[in-house]
Amino acid sequence: MKLFDTHFHFYEKNGKPEEFWETIKIPELEYVMAVGADYEESKIARQFAHAIDNSWYAAGVHPHSADEIDGIGCFDEFAGDEKLVAIGEIGLDYFYENSERDIQKKVMQQFLEKALELDLPAIVHCRDQNDKDQAYVDAYGMLDDFSKSGGRFELHCFAGTPFWAEKFLDIGAYLGVTGIVTFPAAQNIRDSVSVIPVEKLLIETDSPYLAPVPHRGKPNNPGYVIEVAKKVADLKNISVEECAEITTSNAFKFFGIEGKSAC
């Protein structure tokens, strides 16, 4: 069984990539995707990917940091790196609104254009208040245009409703499931998993955040992706081994990793 954690964040405080990897790796965890949330974190993600076998990275700016950048030209330095397989994490966050909405949308659009230019998929964050859906409305409009232009994308850490899951699936989305699916109060996510075709499912930890049950309350890490796989397998009425095979195959297809160096 080979699991692929398609989204985690690596920070300098974690120490050297090799030492961190040795402390968290489980036998079933074979592949990982380090994701940047701003320029500096993208460089750290690149460092991790080049240090660890079977790892890759994404470069982008999280909506929380959208108002901290003046253009995305500095991200051109990542272009052409064989370990760069996605643009992200980008998107919209109307839950905290750490950046103004117009700025979030502007930065997201710039990175979507960069994804098209580099022929890379986009890893998209989308979150709104529990009783609101404007972030989903705005993201849908942008991603519909992106998809029609030949772009491919994933809604990572999907926390919406089955309605929005199906809307995004209709325009080609992959949907990432995290440890939230194990939280007792997250019935909306379990309901959403039920409508996601297995060929569009990705599993992830989003570590060091969102540790799944039975590790809730502790720092999360990529090794805990096995708990996500177990829960998704149960919801889809398949074995954990099947879940691992399907979601890992999906990840390789989505990121276009076939033929790229795994070292």
Written as tens digits, the pLDDT of the chain (263 aa) is 999 999 999 999 999 999 999 999 999 999 999 999 999 999 999 999 999 999 999 999 999 999 999 999 999 999 999 999 999 999 999 999 999 999 999 999 999 999 999 999 999 999 999 889 999 999 999 999 999 999 999 999 999 999 999 999 999 999 999 999 999 999 999 999 999 999 999 999 999 999 999 999 999 999 999 999 999 999 999 999 999 999 999 999 999 997 554 43
First-last CA distance in the chain: 20
DSSP 78: G
Question: What DSSP designation does 212 have?
Answer: P
Across-strand partners of 200? Answer: none
Kindly state the tokens that stand for 202. Answer: 């990705």
8 Å CB contact between 200 and 169: yes
Which structural domains are found in the chain, ordered by start?
Answer: 3-255 (3.20.20.140)
